[in-house]
Chain A
């Protein structure tokens, strides 16, 4: 951009431009004439606002994202019938209405049965579809189908499908053949549909569908596991509601999961906060240094305006308006970009986009304007006592 060229531009512009207010014209001209510097300042502003938006968005959203990861640990609340008694038949329905979609519940009924050669084995009745959602770490070779067709006839021949723990399998059915279990004189014919391996107590158990279990033993579920989503406060509220809805049950948190989750989330959040603070500080300083350089560079404009009789108020107003316009437009463009970055990080890392939070926008805009105002007003304040003549002479 050569001088003569821009001078021609100015001249041409002056002839064509309508008589709009001088103030506006100065603002627009200032940005247009020094396109390079103005663009650099705007880019710095946009990047700073984008990074700040992305970080703030992530900071708010990561909690929820990580909480979802922690729900893979399974239940965080357990309901047990008082003194080993069964829970009322409608408790599952009550619990679902309390949770209202904020979690998964799975009922368990337990009994000790005996194999044909008299060995004791723990048998559990449950809802396989629910367990599959709740206990995702179960390594299952094949889930029994939830609704076997024409049960009565086929069951008598091939047996009811059962999910057998890997250690229990060697006791009840070493050859993977259908087997019998008896409970208080009642016998059930089962066929191993698949095996389950967890490394814990489940490995020594045999799992049946709840319907088969209840019709065989007559024992109703005594334990319900609940994986509820939400903050610790939500969890406490859910537990209180569950206690009221089902007075016959003991409601307990699974402390190891709840406490571990709180610790890890707290530390991650604190690290994120520290990183956010550092990044926003760096970005703000970047804007500050770029803008201050730009304004400082224009001390000749400043001197000419002053020499032509502009008041301090007008000067401050002019530079402030310019800075605010730059800050606001940079912030809005940066906000859009930042939401994109946050969504990308969400997709790459959590396989789910981060929901844009428009509540962050006012903070980003306000922060940007404050930083730009500061970087515009600071050089003016430094120059305010300098005689215009000194600046114009280039000293």
Chain B
């Protein structure tokens, strides 16, 4: 009888059930989408923040001071220590290698530019543009195009591979340097006795605008030190710094140290980079690393609070729809009570219906919310926002609880009603 009551109620009152079900579905859709966006927003914004540039810098351990003013390096090129280019793929061997989105080695060298019989001293910066590197079985592409996304080139980016097949090699000319030399992409220049081909004009808004930027192999050849790298910029996804991050790893006990080591703090990633690359010193670039944490915390906090608001609004919508649906059925309650149904029996019919509605609405809403989150991810962040399936039971139980809570007051009033008034249609 109980099952039949519930079944018939669904069969005969399609419109009402559809309305209540639609409200639940909509509420769950919004809740699911917002929860999915909130759990993923940190990662997404972190990736966007990487456009501000590398947040870690690796330098040789025993280096002399940088003597650099306005992008012009005054340090003798042979002076100081170097890192070994062959060690760089080891960056991908660290514990947090998946968090490292890219790295770019730099080797500034002094060169002389010969033009129209006159010579001029310039800085040539050797680096990776988008170099194919393999570490173990892993293949990846890295270089300034991923670590320095604000570098703009008119013309073509040079290739990293050494095309030394008789053709002159490709380099980029800084914007201001090019304006001074009135050079265009496609021109040839003579640098320290080498014929080079300008493939593009580079604009960075920084010191590179007065420099020549070339594949690192060319810079190494000019100073006669194959494999030499002056510094490496590493771009990594990090976690905002907290009290644990700032502690000195040497003063930590075993479990605390493990926790520190296995958290993607800028400090612990720097520490691991230092371990991976011999004779190196890795440090966070505080301007980038410190502020990243602040911005990230703010945005995550904001979206979290807004998700709470969204959950509240959808809970309210579901409750309101359920309350309305039950108010409309007072006559039914009166009839059931007049036929001798107890309060418990009436309430359990309504609660069973509510649960069923919540489960159906929850399932449909979860699927719709997943689609909505994906759409948001694709249109705003150009990447996927996926929902962990673990969320399904959580969302379903929230849907049932909210539906119950929404129905509870209305059911209580309906059950307490005198069947006579209800049947006469009063009140």
Contacts and interface: CB of A to CB of B under 8 A. Distances in A.
Contacts of A264: 45, 48-49, 51, 295, 299
B287 A198 contact: yes
Contacts of A345: 302, 305
19 contacts: A54-B309, A66-B295, A73-B287, A122-B65, A200-B286, A200-B287, A204-B67, A255-B150, A264-B48, A267-B380, A268-B299, A272-B302, A275-B310, A279-B30, A282-B30, A282-B314, A286-B320, A293-B328, A294-B324
Interface string B65-85: 111111000110000000000
A135 B48 contact: no
Contacts of B65: 119-122, 167-168, 171, 204
Interface string B271-307: 0000000000001111111110011001101110111
A391 B45 CA distance: 58
A333 interface: no
B44 interface: yes
A34 to B, nearest CB: 9
B291 A72 contact: yes
B53 interface: yes
Nearest to A80: B70
Interface string B327-346: 11001000000000000000
Contacts of B150: 255-256, 259-260
B255 interface: no
B285 A292 contact: no
Contacts of A62: 302
Contacts, number: 219
Nearest to B304: A349
A238 B213 CA distance: 31
Interface string A273-312: 0110011011101100110111011001000000000000
A189 interface: no
Interface string A158-177: 00000000011001000000
Interface in B1-42: 19, 23, 26-27, 30, 33-34, 37, 41
Contacts of A137: 286-287, 290-291
Given A201-B68, A286-B316, A268 B30 contact: no
Instruction: State the 5 A-B residue pairs at the shortest beta-carbon distance, nearest first.
Output: A293-B324, A260-B52, A286-B317, A255-B205, A349-B301
Interface in A314-352: 341, 345, 348-350
A84 B70 contact: yes
B298 A252 contact: no
Nearest to A59: B306
A73 B291 CA distance: 6
B135 interface: no
Interface residues of A, number: 81
Given A264-B45, A274-B380, A300 B310 contact: no
Interface stretch (B100-108, B114-122, B190-198, B419-427): B419-427
Interface in B226-266: none
A72 B27 CA distance: 39
B363 interface: no
B69 A110 contact: yes
A285 B317 contact: yes
A30 interface: no
B313 interface: yes
A324 to B, nearest CB: 20
A37 B28 CA distance: 25
Contacts of A296: 328
A281 B48 CA distance: 29
A122 to B, nearest CB: 6
A272 B306 contact: yes
B321 interface: yes
A190 interface: no
